[in-house]
Amino acid sequence: MEELFYDTWYLEVIAKKADYQQRFIISGSASQNGIYSGTVGTKIPSLAGVPGMPWKLSIEWYDAASATWKPSVMRTVSGYSMNEGLTKKIFSDDATAAIRDNDFNDLVIYCRNLDPALAPYAGQENPYDFSYPKKSKRKPIRKKRPVPQK
């Protein structure tokens, strides 16, 4: 399977829980085409896309029995935050359909779009605090109600 991207992205392998070797492949980009290790911490800080044309990301696992790399099944979760802008997490599952465990944690790649228009507040802290106050061990002071007069 392949995931299509447009524009410039940051990519990083953030998790791997697989018995098989993992790798990811980038094709059709302006500058970073190639095969990359599926090792946690592998980063591509600025992946420039080709304007108007998509570039592709695919994930593969190594089948030692046949000594070949095979495509992994992928699921994508997209998100948006004020600080990071447009993000994607790509989850993959390896093995053949007959023995696949469907956990989608074999290789996880975090992707963040680097277009400043999609993240105008990147790097800025939220000046407002919307959190609840911490519970205090002090007992609240209760005011006595005035007794109504007749």
**Overall fold of domain 2-118:** Jelly Rolls (2.60.120)
- Which tokens sit at 58? 């695919």
Mapping DSSP to helix (H, G, I), strand (E, B) and coil, where does residue 117 land? helix
Q: What is the pLDDT of residues 62-121, one digit of tens each?
A: 998 899 999 999 999 999 988 888 999 999 998 777 777 888 989 999 999 888 888 877
> Residue 62 and residue 139: Cα distance in Å, rounded?
62
Type of residue numbered 43: K
- Give 92's strand partners: 74, 107
Q: With 0.85 as the threshold, say if the pTM is over it.
A: no
